Structure 1
Amino acid sequence: MSDLKPVFGALRSVMAPYGSRLAVKRDTGDEYYVESANAASNGKPEFFGAVQIKKGYVSYHLMPVYTHPELLDGLSSGLKARMQGKSCFNFKGIDPALFDELSTLTKRGYAVFEAQR
């Protein structure tokens, strides 16, 4: 698991700017969880995204791509290959090009997330 710490740190740095704009629910050595600061219509905060160390990889969850799949249009085949499910990307190592693309996707996701609130 310790070899995944640098991957977690790099992905956490992609998600961290949105933690300061929203609300950080958890920030531990193996999980960074971000949600809306205000309650949604169901009375609970809305999940925005998270970075988590799993058994053999680090997962990057970005909920706006689940609710707005058009955000995935134009995604590189490299980043698509990292997708697990509809809103999760898994990494075992640091890939600067894919992390830059993920950063751009997260920025676009945040814009959609804020516009719908």
Structure 2
Amino acid sequence: MSVFAAVHERLRDIVLKNRGDLVVTKDGPAGMALEVPGLEGKPWGYVAGTRVGTGYVSYYLMPVYVSPELEASLSPELLRRKQGKACFNFTKVDEGLFDELDALTARTVPGFRAVAEELAARRR
């Protein structure tokens, strides 16, 4: 198993462990996606996922994007991995950071559907 495959598997496990009633819409060696289920079983909105790149594995967590105040709760080590508003990049398994990411995911994903629905209602 390559280093990136091991990183992806560990990050994938974090997403799956915390998915609740959300739907996995993509799951393969290149990455996975977790979305809010919509009407008639069609996915409605991206929540979290992974992507295996050529230089690192990315972990996307949309609750961080819509609630920037969450950044204040992140350790400096995890903040160094943050790229953009909702992406964290890893080149190797780091159990300490993955535990922190797991706790952040567990804290934010379960209530994200309500947040996403509220944001969508405001746009209408």
What TM-score bracket applies, with the shorter chain setting the length? 0.7 to 0.9
Task: Please give the per-residue CA displacement for 1:58-95, whole angstroms capped at 9, x wherever unaligned.
Answer: 00000111011122222100000000001000000000
Q: Matched residues, percent identical?
A: 39
For the pair 1:96 / 2:101, whether they are aligned, the reply is no
Alignment TM-score, normalising by the size of structure 1: 0.88
1:47 match: 46
**Paired residue type of 1:23:** V
Alignment TM-score, normalising by the size of structure 2: 0.83
Go from structure 1 to structure 2 and tell me whether the alpha carbon gap of 1:3 and 1:44 turns closer, same or farther (over 3 Å shift).
closer
2:55 match: 56
Query: How many corresponding residue pairs?
Result: 114
For the pair 1:16 / 2:16, whether they are aligned, the reply is yes
Q: List alignment gaps of at least 5 residues for structure 2.
A: 118-124
Q: List alignment gaps of at least 5 residues for structure 1.
A: none
For the pair 1:35 / 2:35, whether they are aligned, the reply is yes
**Paired residue type of 2:60:** H
Verify the 8 A CA contact 1:64 1:112 in the aligned structure 2. Answer: no
Cα root mean square deviation, aligned: 1.9
Verify the 8 A CA contact 1:35 1:48 in the aligned structure 2. Answer: yes
